[in-house]
Amino acid sequence: MIFKNKKWLALAVVALSLICIFTLLFIYKSTPEKLASEETQKKTDLTNPIFMRGNGYLSLNKDEVFSISIPYIFGEQNITNVESVVSDNDQALLEFSDTSGDYVFDENTNVNSFNFDISFKSVGQYVIDKVTIVTSEKTVVVDIGHFIFDITDSSDSDLALFGDTIGIQSSLDNYLLSIKNENKKETLKITSIYAKTDALSLESKEFELAPDGLFSGELSTSISADNPKYSWYVIKPKIEYSVKNAKQFFLSNATYLGLVDISQHQVDIALKNKRGSEFK
């Protein structure tokens, strides 16, 4: 359109400017409303406590008791008056310990740990993905993730741990192994270091340990991108070694991966995959 009259040209410019201003005001006004809506939705999602699903491989001896901690997020309603925790696996024995942590993540979100002991009566490989929590008010089945328990009946070992017996780290990229050959005469040949689940695998190494020899080093971990429902991981590898051509096993220490500082990403994973993991 060609404006021959300057007055009409000026009016057109003013009208166009007003349209732009009102458009910008609308966008500015709607953006906080959208953010507020998302924040309200997040708060609504925490009406019930939500367990942060974990993934892990744990090698244990028959009847060995392992204390496991499962983090969960909650708003105003916490998990209280717990009487027991059980599994539908008849070989597993569970005993509730306590809830701990009470870490304030943000103004709407708190993080706690649900702690219980677990042991197995028989040798074999068992999967625990759900537990039943019994309180004085209700009984709730919750999905806590996917944990493989590899149960053996190993005898006394020539290997021993040195340093911490259980580790907690923020990194998901490695596992620190520190072992010692306590055999004063024989060299040990490490043939396998094993920890594997549907979402995690641990680097294996082969090496020899001289009498009284030490090994301390990081083994890399690989986390599958095909399993985005897990917020954290735990590994307790099984080490296979030979001495005088006789095969033996050693059960290494446990390390929690990704549990030093809970991130927004981990909380978002729990919120996105809350179905089945809510305590309600």
Q: Please tell me the predicted confidence (pLDDT) of residue 168.
A: 92
Q: Please tell me the predicted confidence (pLDDT) of residue 165.
A: 62
What's the rounded Cα separation, in Å, for the pair 232 and 14? Answer: 58
- What mean pLDDT value characterizes the chain? 86
**pLDDT above 90 coverage of the chain, percent:** 72
Mean pLDDT along residues 98-107 = 91
pLDDT(22) > 80 = no
Q: Please tell me the predicted confidence (pLDDT) of residue 278.
A: 97
pLDDT, tens digit, 9 for 90 and up, residues 29-88: 444 444 443 443 444 358 899 999 999 999 999 999 999 999 999 999 999 999 999 999
Mean pLDDT along residues 245-261 = 92
3-state secondary structure the chain: CCCCCHHHHHHHHHHHHHHHHHHHHHHHHHHHHHHHHHHHHHHHHCCCCEECCEEEEEEEECCCCEEEEEEEEECCCCCCCEEEEECCCCCEEEEEEEEEEEEEEECCEEEEEEEEEEEECCCEEEEEEEEEEEECCCEEEEEEEEEEEEEECCCCCCEEECCCCEEEECCCCEEEEEEEECCCCCCEEEEEEECECCCEEECCCCEEECCCCEEEEEEEEEECCCCCCCCEEEEECEEEEEECCEEEEEECCEEEECCCCCCHHHHHHHHHCCCCCECC
- In terms of Cα–Cα distance, which of 53, 56, 52 is closest to 197? 56
Q: Please tell me the predicted confidence (pLDDT) of residue 199.
A: 95
Q: Please tell me the predicted confidence (pLDDT) of residue 49.
A: 97
pLDDT-based confidence at 94, cuts 50/70/90? very high
Mean pLDDT along residues 77-104 = 95
pLDDT, tens digit, 9 for 90 and up, residues 159-210: 999 866 678 998 899 999 999 999 999 999 999 999 999 999 999 999 999 9
